[in-house]
Every structure is written in C-alpha cells, then in structure tokens.
Structure 1
Amino acid sequence: MTSKRRFLAACTLVAFGTLPAQADTYPSRPIRIIVHSSPGALLDVTTRVVAQEMSKDLGQPIVIENRPGADGLLGIRAVKAAPADGYTLLAAANTVAQLPAFRKEPGYDLEKDFTGIGMMNRAPFLFVGPPGQPSKTLAELIANAKAQPGQLVMAHAGKGTSVHMAAALFFHQTGTKFLDVPYKGAAAALPDVVGGRANVMFDGANSSGPLVKEGKLRAFGITSTTRSPVFPDIPTLAEQGLPNYSFYVYLGLLAPANVPKDVVPRLAKALRTALASEPVKKRFRNDAAEAGRMSPEEFTKFLKEDAARTEKVATDLGYAKE
C-alpha cells in the first residue's frame, strides 16, 4: 500500500506540475488580426509591419485579414463575435470609438465588448486635392467652397470614420459646406481625388504623401499641430488661419473583452518590442507617425474618453444617428 500511495502521489505531482507549463504557452498557434479597412490603407499597412515584428517576439505567425465595409463595422463586429481566447484581435483606427456617435445600433459596446492592448501610433492627415483645380491654396479653397455651397466634393471613407471626422471638424471651423461623398475606405476614394472627380480629402501620409511628392496631388495642409519633419514644406492648417484645428488618426490593437488574464499583458509586451524595432520605426518615420506608448489600461481609458469627445462633437455639429 505504501508503494502504491507513493506512486499515486508521484503521478499527481507530475500531472499538476505540467499545468503551469501548459497555461503559460500562449500563444500556441497562429494569431489572426482583423483589420477593419481596405488593403493599402494606413491602418492595413501599419498593422502589417507591426504584426511582422510582434510575431517574432510571440514565436507564432500573425495572419492579417481585411474586413472593410459598413464604415468599419464589419471588422469590428467580427472580432466582437469571435471567441475571447486571444487568437482573434482587432486592428482599429479612431473609427472604433467614433462610430457609436453616428449609429443608433452600431452592433457593439466599446466598453463592454473590447479591451485595449495598446496604441500602435498616431499620425496627422494630409489635406489633398488634384493640382488641376482652380483652388491652389487653402484660403482659395475655403473661399471657393463658400461661394459654391455644396458644390465642391469632399471624399471620405464613410460616416464616423477618422477621415470623415477630420472633414467634419474642417466644416465646423471654416463654416463651409461641401458635398461629402462616402467611399468604401480611403483607398477607394483616393483614385477619384487624383483623377479630379473629387476636389479634396483627408488622407494618410503613407498613401497620399508619395503622390504629393510626384506632383499628382496638391497638399493644402497637414493636420498636425506643428509641421512634420517628413513634410517640412507643407504648412499646418493651424498656421493658415485655422488656429484651433488639429487632428490625428490613431491606430491600435484591441481584444475581445474577457480574454484570459495573461493574454493582454503578453500581447502588450510584444507590441512594445515591435514599436522599438528598426523596421517599425522606419515605417513610422515615412508616415510622419509617432509610436504609441500607452499601457493596455491607459489605451482602454483613452478609447473611452475619445468616444465621449466624439459624441459631443457629433451633437454640436447636428449629426443625426442613422
């Protein structure tokens, strides 16, 4: 009996001794990040370069899946519906905090359905248009818009998206009225701006910046508070008569709420490592972007505060929820 008891005790120790090792193996298989924008958009490009570096730290591949549509709601809802196991994440722009201010039924509750992992970066937009149109400066554009209310076309990526919010703030501060035309993502809108079928749009530096340098687009300004070292010749909107105007698109990673408690800290560590890598730093410099430095708790709080700010702006501008 003594030998039998010793044998059973040894088996018990071995069994329980393996549990911590099994619990600490996250991630043990590939991770999927759903991006709620089109391929080639700023969110997509940023997520891909960050994910590549994160995968090195995590020791597992990260698969990027684009789910554009419904102004970003398709991708957001897909992650909300996914198992809260840490293997399906959301790469989101400001949109995730802004859409509830414009939709009666967005299909998700930011606070209840998601938890923040961290901000990847934030970057200003370029305010661009085709060089062949009559307006050559921001002042001329504003004057022409006021002379032709609702005639000039402002392209954007959909109501409640970051691009739309940048435009809405522009309308509010300039007192102009454009014909704002939504597209299925910024990448879909840009060709119409280059081709002269739309007059202006706010867009990420990664996509519109090279076109500005090639002379295919005119930059009316940049939305940062000070000039960007990447585009030192492009004046801010603030220095061109809009002293209170600034706007940044921020990009971050989120997980479904109620993921295992070890998942978010592990992903946050991998994100910090990725942001410190040279490939990511180089990408951010090209995009005139600043790396995020928020903890998961800070990012979650930031998202909540931005949702509240957006709700107030949407109300002040008179937008009705659809």
Structure 2
Amino acid sequence: MDGLDDGCSRDQRLRRGTERSHRVLVDVISGSTNEKSNCSKKYRRQAAMAHLSLGFKLDRFLVAAALVLGGTSAAADAFPSKPLRIIVPSAPGGALDVTTRLVAQKMSETLGQSVIVDNRAGGDTLIGTRQAKDAAADGYTILAQANGFVTLPAVKRDPGYDPLKDFTPIGLMLRAPMVMYVGADQPDRTLSDFVARAKSHKLTYATGSVGGPTHVAAAMFLQAAGLNVTLIPYKGAGPAMTDVISGRVDMIFDGYMSSSGQLKSGRLRPLAVTSATRVGPLPGVPTFQEQGMDFNYSLWLGLVAKSGTPKEVIQRLSDALGYALNNKNLNARFQAEGSDPSFVTPEEFGRYLKNEMNQMAKVAGDLNLPKD
C-alpha cells in the first residue's frame, strides 16, 4: 500500500470516504478539511473521488431512465412537428386518391401541418405499400388503402407485407357500394342485357389493380352469374376507365365518387349497384338483388401506419381523421356520393381488417384467383 499503514483496510477507507457528506467531500477535495482520521489524507482524497464518480454515474442513469420513460410521451406531445405524407399506392384519379386528398386537406387543419398526398402506383399497389412498410414508425408516413390491402396476400406469392403484423390501423375514411358500368356506346341497357350478351359473345372487363376491389367485385359478380368474361388488367383506374369508355373493353366496376364525372357527361352507363339498397345519387339504378342476383359488395377506404408507431401518435392521427370526417361539408359530400363516412376507432378498424382478411382469403379461394 505504497508503504503506508494507517490502521485502515483499503475497503474501509473507501467506504468511509464515500459515506461522507457533500460538504466534507468538497472540503477534502479542496484540502481545507480539519477533520481528524486514522486514514491518511491520500486515501481520503481517493475515497472522495470515488464518491464523486459514483454520484456522476448515478445522475447519468437517472437522466437516461427519465428519457426512456418520458421520451414517448414527449414525442407524442410534440407530434406533428413537420409535414406528414400519405402514400396512395395507386394512380391519381381513382376513388382512393380522390378520397384521400379530401381527407388529408381537413386533417391538416387540426394537425397544424401540411399533409401531402404521394401517389406511388405500380405492382398492383405493392410498390407504395412496401414503401410505407419500410418507413420510420413515427407517424409521419401514412398509408391509404382499400379492400385489396387484405386481398393481395391471398393472391400474391410474395406480397412483401402482412396487413396485421406490419401495419397499425388508424381508421376508415369511408365505405361505399360499387357500380357496374359499360361504355355509353355498348348495346346493354340492363343487367340482363349484359348477361345475355356475355353468354353469346367473348366479352372483357377491366381493372386498375389485380386483387383490388374493382377486380374482386367484378369476379364475384361473374361467378354468381356463371359468366366467362376475360380480365384485362391495367396500371391504374384511369387507363382502365378510358378503355371502357372507348369501347375497347366491355365492362368495369368502380366507385361512384371516382366515376361520377364520366357518368354525368354521358360516357358511362350504370347497370347495377352492389349495395343492398339503391344509392342516393343514383335512384334510377337498381341493385343486383333487385335484378335477381344474390350479390352485394362494399368498397372500403382507410388509413394505416407502420407497426410500432407510438399509440399516442396513432391516437392523434385518429383524432385528426375524426375531425375530417365530422366536417359538415365533407361529410355531406361523401353522403351525397352514396358513401358512409362514419368514424371508427383504431381498435374497431383493426377488428374490421382482421375480419376482412379472413373473408377475402376465402373469396380468393372460391374464385380460384391465380396466385402470381
């Protein structure tokens, strides 16, 4: 022990030193203490420095613990501190795109930040969906989706995502029936006319997304009617609708919101709606059930975020979505277009998605939809 023997073991010296009060600690370090001890001044100084080091480490631990425990809450309180992005995994002009833009505008009012709509079309919505999955789980990247979100895993060999594991539900934007259309120049005036023509001619139908709602709704109808009509897939609803209007393709299913312009201009003819009752803006268009077919289908559009996004952030986004849907003008517009913009909580939407996924897996099997 450096040739010193003051009657204290090294452990005793350290223990005594670390038990000193802060006043004594400062005095020892400064050399101003008058306190008597059997321990040498050198070891009192060592013990004091050990106490100081221990206190510094404890302070660092407490600060780190506070950051861990309070960090999530603080982040949620500050959210959002920059613009948000909603990825729409389809081309502009479709029902999902139009609805998302209307909702995003209202959400931005209460969030206090811009909400930018980013169209990432391609791969039957897989490109945009995968980009959202790879984004940070901080709530600044949101994914807008429709029925195909829970259908594609049943018709794709490698969709690259799991709807229930990779994403957290925020809420529904709306639910709405779909409309079966033919071009205005087609000879069909009723659903019966189309069925009769499909049985005697080789007809086609269009979709902007394989496995998406326009595809699944049409395929379900054709199976129910016992018809063999050829699918013509497109990269987006816009090009698909253009070819139906021109007569290059015979039929398409679409939401009223995204097709109302072409309908009002006289370029499309509606033959039936997929709801159980007639749609407000189309009182003259009968349902499939009215025309003798046991068939109905609902389009849903909703918002999800990456799994792992803090619950407080999801709640903030849910509140903003509720604000948008409860806006008097926007709510009235959706209802006038035959849609149901009823607000649901993230938990309710999660249960809805799970049920939809189970149902669509069965539908895909029943329709023998090819898995590519």
Tell me the residue number matched to 1:210: 261
How far the C-alpha of 1:212 sits from its partner, in A, is: 2.2
The Cα offsets for residues 30-83 of structure 1, whole Å up to 9 and x where unpaired, read as: 111000111111101100111111111111110110011111111111100111
Q: Distance in 2 between matches of 1:111 and 1:281?
A: 28
The runs of 4+ residues in structure 1 deviating greater than 3 Å are 16-23
Map 1:87-236 to 2 at 5 A: 87-148=140-201, 151-236=202-287
Q: Secondary structure at the match of 1:111?
A: coil
1:95 positional shift: 1.1
| RMSD, aligned CA | 2.0
What is the rounded CA distance, in whole Å, between the counterparts of 1:25 and 1:206 in structure 2?
Answer: 36
Structure 1 distance, partners of 2:279, 2:75, is 48
2:299 is the alignment partner of 1:246: no
CA displacement at 1:169 relative to structure 2:
0.5
> What's the CA shift for 1:23?
4.6
Name the aligned partner's letter for residue 79 of structure 1: A
* Correspondence for 2:119: 66
| One-letter identity of the residue aligned with 1:260 | P
* Equivalence for 1:285: 335
Paired with 1:77 and 1:229, the residues of 2 have a C-alpha distance of 37
Deviation, structure 1 residue 144: 1.0
Distance in 2 (CA, whole Å) between partners of 1:232 and 1:32 is: 37
- Give the drift of 1:143: 1.0
Question: 2:350 — aligned with what?
Answer: 300
- 1:81 alignment partner AA: D
CA contact (8 A) 1:126 1:208 kept: no
Q: Is the 8 A contact 2:98 2:258 kept in 1?
A: no
Letter in 1 for 2:91: S
Letter in 2 for 1:257: S
Residue in 2 that maps onto 1:54: 107
Residues 83-138 of structure 1, C-alpha deviations (whole Å, 9 max, x = no match): 11110010001111111110111000111100110000011111111122222211
Q: Which runs of 5+ in 1 are unaligned?
A: none
Distance in 2 between the 1:132 and 1:272 partners?
Answer: 42
- Listed one character per residue, the Cα deviations across residues 250-271 of structure 1 (whole Å, up to 9, x for unaligned) are 0000000011121111111111
**2:261 aligns to what SS in structure 1?**
helix
Aligned amino acid, residue 103 of structure 2: V
Residues 204, 287 of structure 1: 8 Å contact kept = no
TM-score, normalised on structure 2? 0.79
Alpha-carbon separation, structure 1, partners of 2:336 and 2:123: 29
Is 1:84–1:259's contact at 8 Å kept on the other side of the alignment? yes
Matched-pair identity in %: 43
Report the CA distance between 1:221 and its aligned residue.
1.0
Greater relative CO, 1 or 2 (CA 8 Å, sep 6+): 1
Q: Which amino acid aligns with 1:252?
A: G
d(CA) in 1 for partners of 2:109, 2:351: 28
2:131 maps to what in 1? 78
Letter in 2 for 1:268: S
Find the aligned partners of 2:76 and 2:176 in 1 and give their Cα distance: 37
The 2-side partners of 1:23 and 1:47 are apart by 24
Letter of the structure 2 residue corresponding to residue 163 of structure 1:
T
Mapped contact 2:151–2:364 kept (Cα < 8 A): no
Q: 2:258 and 2:164 mapped to 1: Cα distance?
A: 32
Alignment partners' CA distance in 2, 1:50 and 1:276: 11
Looking at structure 2, the residues matched to 117 and 159 of structure 1 have their Cα atoms a distance apart, in angstroms, of 25
Q: Distance in 1 between matches of 2:75 and 2:211?
A: 43
**Structure possessing the higher radius of gyration over alpha carbons:** 2
The amino acid across from 1:251 in the alignment is: L
- Equivalents in 1 of 2:204, 2:179: separation in Å? 16
Q: Secondary structure at the match of 1:125?
A: strand
Question: Match for 1:38 among 91, 99, 105?
Answer: 91
Structure 1 position 269 matched with structure 2 position 322? no
- Compute the displacement of 1:167 (Å): 0.6
Alpha-carbon shift at residue 222 of structure 1 (Å): 1.1
Q: Offset at 1:29?
A: 0.8
Paired residue secondary structure (2:106): helix
Structure 2 stretches of 5 or more lacking a match? Answer: 1-21, 27-58
Q: Which deviates further from its counterpart, 131-140 or 302-311?
A: 131-140
Shift of 1:22: 5.5
Distance 2:278 2:182 in 1: 19
Larger CA deviation: 225-234 vs 209-218: 209-218
Total equivalences in the alignment: 310
Give the TM-score of the pair, scaled to structure 1. Answer: 0.91
